Structure 1
């Protein structure tokens, strides 16, 4: 059963025994208290953010991940899809929110450090989105921000002022950076290493004249200011729904783009991804766009393609353990 159907059933079952599907407070915090605190941050009119914070306080609903210990609650970590369903369906009784709206109901407070990125790894949540494009990338409230929300009137105001000071923000960023690095040590580095090999060996040998303008080697939700500057120089204009590859390169002389997808578990250049990215290149007026899927070993490539056979025709495959060649994927001519 799809997640939105499960949440709709959950709401219906709760309303059979209670006047509302969610209680009036979580962890002693009401939705009005959330609004008051966010108002001090000039975010109180963002109703989706208010409801998103309230969802991340939910310590009464079991986690919607299936592979976690029984005591894990929604508040321990929730994906964008989980939040979209909690807000739109469980709280409001409508449809799930558009996940592309996460820039409005996650990003503002995440940039301040009130919402933290976490990753479900080996049945526990670790800090940071340290595995690119992982379906287990999630969010939770920081302990400091929860303490502000739980503090009584007359106390939370001072805690909030201290939390938002420049010194506190700097220390928080430094601490979070160290936490991300610690988390990276716990996660398989195979994907990141394959991305780097795809740049250092494959692109250097087979794509002369191409410059790397974007690397998605960490938090797939985040595009840095440096990335935006690179896109601008290459004449690439991204829209909210555009697919982001592991590596995007640009040849300024040819005005061609090239996409590399490094695969350790999934994510090949398939026809859907190719169509999306060709559309982006055409919209940006590029002369063309090429595609390569890279794997670490022939064994991994064979296992993936035996099961899925999804690498797009007219794209290339490169194998890290056999780096001196790349292979063009072709199909039989029609009629044969």
Structure 2
């Protein structure tokens, strides 16, 4: 009797997936996303929204595997990424770092999958393949529409979807023209691409030490006339400019001649209040819902560098 893993490999081959995506880990991913156990019928396949964590738990529990939590990137790179491109799975459009981010089988692929082993399989696979390129285009367009467009330094970019990147867009389009007029965007980290914008030449000119992405704030602006650096953190859930974060950034700029300005950006007052007690003194606060105003944690000094 053919195992469900082998059957899934056959399905992936017949819909035209490359050989490298017809592996055991790819098959297990599809089985978990379809919620199909070894003895289950394919007609019982489902396409509920699930996380990679759920995929790992399913294959460990029902296929006697022992994948650890740190295998998530392996599932993402070897299976999920390619399945999205092929238009056989989709995501729910949330930010990838959101706890609510999920994947599922596309309805078209689910419909095909449920017919495997039945007398309708040949017709179903033929129908699927006849529109497969159209489906791929459809889901590719769907992902593009979810992107957040913006212009940085006269170049067009796209942020991944999500509230965090919406706040970053507001920083660039609303904060910068009001409070950093004339400044250049020299660093922006997308939730997926941590260096969406990275002006290495400018950082070198400023004698900036090695850039450590997990210590960099979300947006860095530089004002050449004033020789000011604006370090701006977009906060929707974590990441405020606390005293510890300030020390980390100042260590990276200890040889830099520019003055440092630190700004924590929040989408609204409600979010700001959650973090008010942990913000560092001599920093600034900006709220995208009140874009024309600033909150200064600087005593009698308004916006200006700490050094």
Q: TM-score range by the shorter chain?
A: 0.5 to 0.7
Match of 1:203 in 2: 176
Match of 1:95 in 2: 68
Aligned-partner Cα distance in 2 for 1:287–1:145: 57
Match of 1:295 in 2: 266
User: How far is the alpha carbon of 1:32 from its aligned partner?
Assistant: 1.8
The match for 1:136 among 95, 100, 104 is 100
Do 1:296 and 1:319's aligned partners in 2 also have CA atoms closer than 8 Å? yes
User: How far is the alpha carbon of 1:110 from its aligned partner?
Assistant: 1.0
User: How far is the alpha carbon of 1:75 from its aligned partner?
Assistant: 4.0
The match for 2:32 among 37, 55, 62 is 55
The match for 1:85 among 34, 42, 57 is 57
- State which structure, 1 or 2, has the greater radius of gyration over its C-alpha atoms: 2
User: How far is the alpha carbon of 1:206 from its aligned partner?
Assistant: 3.3
Q: Compared with structure 1, are the counterparts of its residues 251 and 46 closer, same or farther at alpha carbon in structure 2 (3 Å cutoff)?
A: farther
Aligned length: 254
Question: Tell me, which stretches of 5 or more residues in structure 1 are unaligned?
Answer: 1-23, 61-72, 119-127, 182-188, 331-336
Match of 1:113 in 2: 87
Aligned-partner Cα distance in 1 for 2:124–2:217: 42
Aligned-partner Cα distance in 2 for 1:168–1:151: 18
The match for 2:115 among 148, 151, 157 is 151
Match of 1:305 in 2: 275
Aligned-partner Cα distance in 1 for 2:21–2:102: 23
Match of 2:206 in 1: none
Aligned-partner Cα distance in 2 for 1:318–1:202: 8
Question: Tell me, which stretches of 5 or more residues in structure 2 are unaligned?
Answer: 38-44, 148-161, 204-211, 300-307
Q: Compared with structure 1, are the counterparts of its residues 305 and 98 closer, same or farther at alpha carbon in structure 2 (3 Å cutoff)?
A: same
User: How far is the alpha carbon of 1:250 from its aligned partner?
Assistant: 5.0
User: How far is the alpha carbon of 1:56 from its aligned partner?
Assistant: 0.2
Do 1:268 and 1:310's aligned partners in 2 also have CA atoms closer than 8 Å? no
User: How far is the alpha carbon of 1:41 from its aligned partner?
Assistant: 0.9
User: How far is the alpha carbon of 1:293 from its aligned partner?
Assistant: 2.1
Bigger Cα displacement from structure 2, 292-301 vs 131-140: 292-301
Match of 1:41 in 2: 17
Bigger Cα displacement from structure 2, 313-322 vs 241-250: 241-250
Q: Compared with structure 1, are the counterparts of its residues 57 and 103 closer, same or farther at alpha carbon in structure 2 (3 Å cutoff)?
A: same
Aligned-partner Cα distance in 2 for 1:273–1:112: 44
Do 2:85 and 2:136's aligned partners in 1 also have CA atoms closer than 8 Å? no
Bigger Cα displacement from structure 2, 285-294 vs 79-88: 285-294
Cα offsets for 1:97-128 (capped at 9, x unmatched): 4333323231111122211102xxxxxxxxx2
Match of 1:76 in 2: 48
User: How far is the alpha carbon of 1:270 from its aligned partner?
Assistant: 5.4
Q: Compared with structure 1, are the counterparts of its residues 146 and 74 closer, same or farther at alpha carbon in structure 2 (3 Å cutoff)?
A: closer
Aligned with 1:137: secondary structure? coil
Q: Compared with structure 1, are the counterparts of its residues 299 and 172 closer, same or farther at alpha carbon in structure 2 (3 Å cutoff)?
A: closer
Cα offsets for 1:289-332 (capped at 9, x unmatched): 86532124445422x036xx4445675422343744343589xx
Aligned-partner Cα distance in 2 for 1:116–1:246: 30
